[in-house]
Amino acid sequence: MSDQPRTVEVPEELNGARFDSVLAKLFPEFSRSRLKAWVLDGSATLDGAQVAPRKSVRAGQTLSLLAEATEVTEAAPEPMELSFVYEDAHMLVLNKPAGLVVHPGAGNTTGTLVNGLLAYDPALAALPRAGLIHRLDKDTSGLLMIARTLEAHTQLVRALEAREVSREYRAVCAGRLTAGGVVDAPIGRHPTQRTKMSVHHSGRPAVTHYRVLTRFERFTFIACRLETGRTHQIRVHMAHKRHPLVGDPQYSGRLVMPSGASEDLQAMLRGFKRQALHASRLALAHPISGEPMELQSQLPNDLLELLGVISDGEHTAAEFDAMAWPEIPDRS
């Protein structure tokens, strides 16, 4: 345990909520089971007193947590080439390539991003999940936030929970979308295929905003912004709209070659083995200084090659990268 407790005042919107639920909201970097254990052993207190997990709290009361992050993983440091678009003493923003697994797990105990981060900065071992604030699927490329201090970690997790971090993606989906819009549909574990997610009435709320950047005869280049961060959210929502992402191995179904597709297009679609999805932009307040930050990642080469073949050379790589989020949804 740390010698210095971390304190926070109960906000108005959590007035009347259970003590353990409020702790989970205000200290999301820790698991509920760990927080409950700290409540029971007196490491988490309300106005300086030990209380039961079910105790109702009032706005303005003070929560204190005498705790420190524990070693998050036994993953071994492994030097690897990592590309950062931002770095200071408090945080990193990484440009993750497609094909890199983020967290160690069954079948992926080495060669993950966590292994590489621990080699780059061994101090990250003292933070939850090696400082990672969110995640990207193995075959999704783009920007990831990593905290380097516990204070930065706490602030970034809170900002993400409060929807104060704008996360924007670029994707190529099958079919010709006529307009941008919003998908507001809950996502949960697929009822029969447990490695997949699906839109399901008992799932957790999920909201994806999308805009058309440019259309082609059989495909659409889109931008997406997340209100929530469910597993596979963009992939599931676009498949739910019957416009799955090109190359998606889980949600696009069997590859059906468009009629009249050129040999180049057929070869590209057969060879594109990952979802055409890239985390292209982050906008947030710096976790310590509060200064506004906007970070961008250019489209990776494989997506540019896909777009080049789909567009038949209609746009350059620079033009695709420059396509900005339309503030007014396309209604054409």
Active site residues: 137
Half-sphere exposure for 272 (CA within 13 Å, toward CB): 28
Report d(CA 308, CA 172) in Å as an integer.
Answer: 12
| DSSP-assigned letter for residue 12 | G
Report d(CA 105, CA 121) in Å as an integer.
Answer: 21
224, β-bridge pairs: 169, 210
Residue linked to tokens 């303005």: 60
Structure tokens at 199: 């839109």
State which H helix or E strand residue 296 sits in: strand 292-296
Report d(CA 73, CA 119) in Å as an integer.
Answer: 13
Report d(CA 243, CA 109) in Å as an integer.
Answer: 34
Half-sphere exposure for 58 (CA within 13 Å, toward CB): 3
Count CB-CB contacts under 10 A for residue 184: 13
Report d(CA 132, CA 130) in Å as an integer.
Answer: 6
3-state secondary structure 38-54: HHHCCCEEECCECCCCC
Report d(CA 246, CA 218) in Å as an integer.
Answer: 11
Structure tokens at 283: 């906008």
